[in-house]
Amino acid sequence: MKFPIEAKKTIQDYNAKPSLSALTAQAESVIDLIAPQNCIGIRLDLVLAQLLPQWSRSRLQSWILEKRVHVDGKAAIPKQKIWGNEKISIRPHIVPVNTAHAAEAISLKIIYEDNQLLVINKPAGIVVHPGNGNWQGTLLNALLHYRKQLNEIPRAGIVHRLDKDTSGLLVVAKTIEAQTSLVRQLQQHTVKRDYFAIVLGEVKQSGYIDAPVGRHPVQRTKMAVTIHGKPARTNYQILEHFEGCTLLCCSLETGRTHQIRVHMHSIGHPLVGDPVYTGKPKKLPVEIARLIMQFPRQALHAQQLALAHPQHGEIMKWDSALPEDINILLQGLRQYRAVSSVSLS
């Protein structure tokens, strides 16, 4: 069932405030909510999926079946509908993260921390969340070692990801409330995320790409621009031109998997070094071709992150300097440009 437009907006604007800051093994906390007034005839699981986006709909449905969800004091039933203003209480059943993933002593470059947030500068080469053959040595493993309290937060507080070989800024929630706030901000596209990207070819002018991104219809390990995908929009601004490539600042309005990589590939400017969404540079001077072909990863760095603090609402912003490998690549490109300019003059 689809939400009526008015009801959907009400749910998106609704500020659910769980009564817990962390779950403990000694006692399960209860989340108390009031159903938004405009949820007329909408199924309970759909309403909960909007109000509590940090948990999947399937998990919420399982809690309904387990009688962990009550509406106006009575145990909820599957497919129950909501009519507005009902008192809803949820007694979550959280499986500690470390029953599936072990804490590991992996160093983290933390650039900001308070009682609600961690902001991490992730190096290239580290996977954010275990899966697909990467079950150890991930950022999640490192977080569980760094702060044991993150074991009590779904996904150890991770609310968004960077690809393994993308470097840069990533925010982690330290409480359920912070996670709820950050997920909502990401859904409402109010989190500012800017990336430095070096792409193949000369981009003629700054612009944007508004094209849906979804699973590739044939190569299921890849994403692609497809009419069946989810809405995705990337703004890009030219920062610097080189022989055979361009330095861009890419700003995300949405956060689809591989979004920048897929979007830039779709307009004929794949990222330098991208092993998946690859492209062959046109005829280039030997020095430039060597620099580009030897770069070992996609040239993508999450350079700036800005969001509203979950506790006090103040807009906070962090910046990350370019990592050494991208700096070395840029230095080589600039040196060639300088030498070429002198020889042509």
Residues assigned a catalytic role: 163
Distance of CA 333 to the CA centre of its chain: 30
Cα separations in angstroms, 153 against 20, 142, 290, 313, 316: 11, 14, 45, 21, 22
Q: What's the 3-state SS for 40-95?
A: CCEEHHHHHHHHCCCCCHHHHHHHHHCCCEEECCEECCCCCEECCCCEEEECCCCC
* Residue 235: its H or E element: strand 233-242
Q: Which two tokens stand for residue 298?
A: 């996609």
Residue with tokens 């992730």: 122
Distance of CA 47 to the CA centre of its chain: 23
Cα separations in angstroms, 136 against 84, 110, 119, 149: 45, 20, 21, 20
CA neighbor of 189 nearest in space, from 256, 120, 261, 113: 256
Q: Residue 221: what residue type?
A: T
DSSP track, 283-306: S--HHHHHHHHH--S--EEEEEEE
- Give the whole-angstrom CA distance, residue 85 versus residue 235: 40
CA neighbor of 207 nearest in space, from 274, 275, 266: 266
Distance of CA 226 to the CA centre of its chain: 20
- Give the whole-angstrom CA distance, residue 298 versus residue 29: 43
- Give the whole-angstrom CA distance, residue 300 versus residue 265: 13
